[in-house]
Amino acid sequence: MITEYLKKLYETIRSVAGITVVLAIVVAILSSIFRGPYIIVNTVVTGGMLALMSIGLALVFGVMNVAQFAHGEYFMIGSLTAYYTFIPIERYLGANPNAALSFLAPLVSILAAFCMGALMGVLSEKLIFYNLRKRSRTNWVMNSFLLTVGISVLLVNGHQLIFGTELKGIVRYWTGRPFCIMDVFVSRDRCYAFILSVLVIGLFWLFMKATRTGRAIRAVSQDETGAQMVGIDLSGIQVLTMALSCGLAGIAGASLLFMFPSYPSVGLDPLYMSWFVIILAGMGNVLGAVVGAFMVALLKVLTMEYIGSGWDFVVPTALIMLILIFKPNGIFGSDVRGVLEQ
């Protein structure tokens, strides 16, 4: 029994994906030994939020075949919503302090961001993708991609028009001394952001695996006709998928508000990064996206550490191009479609 299990594990490790993941872990450990453990800490915190972004991107591609260019804009909407929810609460707290509320206020803001992101997702599906789908399905992937380009332009400049270009940021969500992990001081915000991302990914995982609706989403991603045959309402699932995906991006934007203050094009960097992830993992592969997010985060952190900040953009890009040339389906990719399966 155990030998069989080990054999399976050995085979997994020997695959391209396995080799890459093991290599990444080894590199992470080695660099932490030579440079200090903050490398692993930084990777893990960045990776968690990147994973939230990438899951949404992979989900939308897997279920709806939409290559989302506007995904960063839902991140922006999330951070904007969180800002306008958090600031009034903070002001109120300044007048009458309350320990429980000051712990809950950030969570409330993040929840609001999730709802707002989901709402915008539903609107984009109902007003835009639905109409294109109804009119024509030829060349769908490219046409819907161009639609998302339009959405992105619309949302970025809508933000600029209504809220202006100034940075709308906060210093911190949670006050208090930073935590000390492995001799590294990590601010409370970063810690909670990581815990939150793990929790949300876990919940998402449960939802997709164990609930009837989650299974239906996976079913649609694997076979649309089959899904209709068993009585699944495709358009309902599409709305839900869009809401989930954009809501997750909203959460990411909201919980990173202390790092990325909200401004019109704040979503661009997260967008690029999450695209790196899903190219690396294979588009439409949610499971791979989680692993890939941490690998891209590591790559980013290492580039900044060894080559210098600013190059953290060029090096991953070059690597992604190599992956596209040699393994266009991503390192976890296969010909099998599906959002939660490799």
**CB-based contact 102:93 (threshold 8 Å):** yes
Cα(46)–Cα(333) distance, rounded to whole angstroms?
23
Q: Is 215 in the site for another protein (CB under 8 A)?
A: yes
Contact segment (CB under 8 A) with another protein among 23-31, 95-103, 115-123, 134-142 equals 134-142
Residues in contact with another protein, counted by CB under 8 A, come to a total of 63
| CA quadruple 216, 57, 249, 258: dihedral, nearest 10 | 150
Contact segment (CB under 8 A) with another protein among 106-114, 150-158, 170-178, 193-201 equals 150-158
Residue 48 or 72: the one with the smaller Cβ distance to another protein is: 72
Buried b (16+ CB within 10 A) or exposed e, 139-150: eeeeebeebbee
Backbone angles phi, psi at 191, to 5 degrees: -60, -50
* Nearest-approach distance from CB 270 to another protein, in angstroms: 14
Cα(68)–Cα(66) distance, rounded to whole angstroms?
6
Q: Is 91 in the site for another protein (CB under 8 A)?
A: no
Cα(178)–Cα(192) distance, rounded to whole angstroms?
11
Residue 48 or 288: the one with the smaller Cβ distance to another protein is: 288
> Restricting to residues 194-213, which ones interact with another protein according to CB under 8 A?
212
Beta-bridge partners for 181: 184
Contact segment (CB under 8 A) with another protein among 83-91, 100-108, 115-123, 310-318 equals 310-318
Q: Is 287 in the site for another protein (CB under 8 A)?
A: no
Residue 112 or 227: the one with the smaller Cβ distance to another protein is: 227
* Nearest-approach distance from CB 288 to another protein, in angstroms: 13
Residues 10-49 vs another protein: string with x where CB under 8 A?
----------------------------------------
Cα distances from 127 to residues 66, 120, 175, 232, 323, in angstroms, run 15, 10, 41, 22, 35
Radius of gyration of the chain measured on its C-alpha atoms: 20
* Nearest-approach distance from CB 326 to another protein, in angstroms: 9
Cα(98)–Cα(175) distance, rounded to whole angstroms?
13
Q: Residue for token digits 């960097």? A: 269
- The CB density around residue 230, as the number of other CB atoms within 10 Å, is 9
Q: Is 230 in the site for another protein (CB under 8 A)?
A: yes
Residue 96 or 309: the one with the smaller Cβ distance to another protein is: 309
Q: Quick one: which of 135, 177, 180, 183 contacts another protein (CB under 8 A)?
A: 135
Contact segment (CB under 8 A) with another protein among 6-14, 42-50, 166-174, 228-236 equals 228-236
Buried b (16+ CB within 10 A) or exposed e, 67-103: bbbbbbbbbbbbbbbbbbbbeebeeeeeeeeeeeebe
Positions that interact with another protein (CB under 8 A)? 67, 128, 131-132, 135-136, 139, 141-143, 145-147, 149-154, 156-158, 160-161, 165, 212, 215-216, 218-219, 222-223, 225-234, 264, 268, 272, 275, 279, 310-311, 313-314, 317-318, 320-321, 324-325, 328, 336-338, 340-341
